[in-house]
Structure 1
Amino acid sequence: MKTKTLILLISSFNIFLTTKIHSQEILEEPIANQRESIGLFFWDGMAKVNIGGEYGFIDRQGYLQIPCKYDMVTNFQDGLAIVRDNDKYTFIRKDGSLLTPLIFDSCEPFYDGYALISYQGKFGFIDREGKIIIQPRHDFAMGFSNGLGLVGHDGLNGYVNVSGKLVIDYQYEFSLPFSEGYALFMRDGKFGYINTKGKEIISPKFELASSFHEGLASVRINNVSGIINKKGKFVIKPTYQNVRNFKDGVAVMMQSGKFGLINNKGLEIIPPRYDLLSDFEDGIAVFKIHNKYGFVNSKGEEFISPTFDKASVFEQGMASVTLNGKFHYIDLQGNIVYTSPYSPNHEDESNIILAKIDKKRGYIEGKEKIIVTLDESFTPARVVLLINSNEYIISNAGTLTAK
């Protein structure tokens, strides 16, 4: 479907540049060796764990709150996480109860109080109580925002309200969900914007465009990119190869194949000098220069010098890096706080594992560090957690008891 293809190209506005202009924009993140027993971070006070190839959740005290019985889980967000079992999806609460039966073919996280679901090839929406508010009857859909959900029929997009009523007719060959009261759409190969009434506010004239963030949108015209406001006027003239979305008043830009940082007035905080620059999260980004990775803040200060072979962005004060063939976690001061005994395997995607059954040890990195060991006389009933110097055993039933 044309709509799905274009979403992959446009939705972040940066995928275009990855595939068409500069392939090095892709961040090469470290991936732990498959044998490494590593869980990553706590979200909503819960961390994913994997025991015997199935996932569950522990709390910050290390207690197994949700038994490991799902073949896929997402992190918790606002009290709910997505789980999958036998290729069927639903949401789970922190007490382990399911929001709905495991019946959906796919689920997306909640936005504006509603979640996109699919069933037998059609798309609909549920609320946070698990009630289906819009029956799965649409060929295509994306999340709710500004009280409207994007839906597709016969290759054209329109928008429904929370009652399922079509309030903006199927007419767009491509469009995105509303953001800050405006939705990006395409007509005859050009991009423009509508408001929540369906009125064209900015006529379709751009070669490429992004959704509005912080009152600004990145657009491309005559093969160069600049920034417009909600009146469609340029506040930063189109002179760049690309400008990403603004966040906290700054945006990553690209010029002559190099990346830098500008503020919302168009002033260059970091001139275009990096081979790669990630988006800034909490004022921090990872950069690549001369084939090495380091970290820079939104003031342009390189607070961790480029010494690593690969690096990820910081989450909860931790970032994964590789150096001289070793996988590490570092803190915000650049200190190595954990080193894996194994060599990284960058082709292996099974990196979020807590208690893999192979008599190894690993960590959960959050505000607390929990060391996981497997008893030397290991049987499936003898997974041992070392929590604050106290040992606990996880049984086959998924219960945690003091050793």
Structure 2
Amino acid sequence: MTRRFPILLLLLLALAGCDAFGGGESASAGLYPAVQNGERVLIDRSGRVVVDLGEYSAVRPGAEGLTPARRWTNGQNVWDYFEDSGEVAFSVVADEAWAPRDGRARVRTDGKFAFVDLDGRFLLNPYLNDARDFSEGRARVKTTGWQWGFLDRSGSVVVEPQFGELGDLHDGRARFERDGKVGFLDQNGQVAIQPVYDAARDFSEGRAAVRQGQRWFYIDEDDGRPLGSQTFISAGDFAEGRAPVRTENAWEYIDADGDRVIGPQFDTARPFEGGRAAVEIGGMWTFVRPDGSLVRDPSFDEVEDFAGGLAAVVVDGQTGYVDEDGEYVWFPRD
């Protein structure tokens, strides 16, 4: 499934100073980065300014109720993790830092990665060549070499780096590649589904979209058994009982039984997040409800997925936030 949001990505990179906005795994996505009168601020779900970030050089999207922002203090970069109240929960000295996942936050210092807990304590010294956020108790990492393995929440390597390509763990399965084919591992690095596919997406809600030849279909997480006989030109992840697929030219949505629940009408369609899915119609973006109704007419140049009840949107080059009904809680502004 194609995801196109270059304008929003660039604007939010400028806003955050580091990363694109995203994430919504927890009930609280944390506070939301915004700009008011040319200054960075953090707002809550109602659009109220909670923190003035005048002294901060960067802010990253929040997750699990914590939002990291960077300041320069005594010759070093310090990342403060703001709670929803605007209070700082903990701070970390690091060049870069990200919001927590599974209660662990990824950081980078002098080009090397590590993880800290929610008290700001390092679980290991920064020595990892590369690392990704935790998912289901595992983080994929590159240690001293350039292959991927898994780290557990204590900071111990539980699957030695040996894979050139490795995905995050979802539904107890992680994509891997061998000899140009894709299969799935379990959390201990054992092959759960043999690498026989030309391409695959992550598991979600017990299903993964895989491709053999030119057609996509869904398999189960136990033994890779195909779920139904349907095949698709393209297929996305299941979320909230729906998945975007393309059987003809336009995208539509199916349910877990493979039945069409929202008819083909979208130029682009993303998985549901927070009860809404971002869709593109005629070059403009909006959001669709599970019943197929649009929250408002397509009117946004770009959008991000919902996170904690709000979604970032761009209109005429300016970024704002809307709620699940498509109403602005923060109007697009500089």
Q: Give TM class, smaller chain.
A: 0.7 to 0.9
Shift, 1:172, TM fit: 0.6
The answer to which structure has the higher strand fraction is 1
Deviations 1:313-351 (A, max 9, x none): 68547775759x9999877667789987xxxxxxxxxx6
The question of 1:166 aligning with 2:157 is answered yes
Q: Provide the residue aligned with 1:143 in structure 2.
A: 133
Deviations 1:285-334 (A, max 9, x none): 3433344555432222346445x3736368547775759x9999877667
| Cα gap change, 1:223 to 1:197, in 2 (>3 Å) | same
**Aligned residue runs from structure 1 range 3-402, under 5 A:** 14=1, 18=2, 25-27=3-5, 46=31, 48=33, 50=35, 54-57=39-42, 65=51, 68-86=54-72, 88=77, 90-94=79-83, 96-97=87-88, 99-101=90-92, 103-153=93-143, 154-230=145-221, 231-237=223-229, 239-291=231-283, 293=285, 295-302=287-294, 304-306=296-298, 308=299, 310=301, 312=303, 316=309, 320=313, 322=315, 353=334
Deviations 1:153-177 (A, max 9, x none): 4221111233433221221111022
Shift, 1:252, TM fit: 0.6
Q: Could you tell me which amino acid in structure 1 is paired with residue 301 of structure 2?
A: K
Which fold has the larger relative contact order, with Cα–Cα distance below 8 Å and residues 6 or more apart in sequence?
A: 1
Deviations 1:258-277 (A, max 9, x none): 21111111111223332222
Q: Describe the SS at the equivalent of 1:100.
A: strand
Q: Could you tell me which amino acid in structure 1 is paired with residue 270 of structure 2?
A: S
Q: Could you tell me which amino acid in structure 1 is paired with residue 68 of structure 2?
A: I
Shift, 1:227, TM fit: 0.8
| Cα gap change, 1:229 to 1:91, in 2 (>3 Å) | farther
Give the TM-score, by structure 2 length. 0.76
Q: Could you tell me which amino acid in structure 1 is paired with residue 215 of structure 2?
A: V
| Cα gap change, 1:295 to 1:121, in 2 (>3 Å) | closer
**1:30 and 1:123 mapped to 2: Cα distance?**
27
Q: Is the 8 A contact 2:243 2:253 kept in 1?
A: yes
Larger radius of gyration: 1
**1:191 and 1:165 mapped to 2: Cα distance?**
26
Q: Is the 8 A contact 1:80 1:91 kept in 2?
A: no
- How big is the alpha-carbon RMSD for the aligned residues of Structure 1 and Structure 2? 3.9
Task: Report the count of equivalent residues.
Answer: 311
Give the TM-score, by structure 1 length. 0.64
Choose 290-299 or 199-208, whichever is displaced more: 290-299
Q: Describe the SS at the equivalent of 1:226.
A: strand
Q: Equivalent pairs: percent with the same residue?
A: 25
| Cα gap change, 1:157 to 1:204, in 2 (>3 Å) | same
Q: Could you tell me which amino acid in structure 2 is paired with residue 122 of structure 1?
A: K
| Cα gap change, 1:51 to 1:96, in 2 (>3 Å) | farther
Q: Is the 8 A contact 2:303 2:311 kept in 1?
A: no
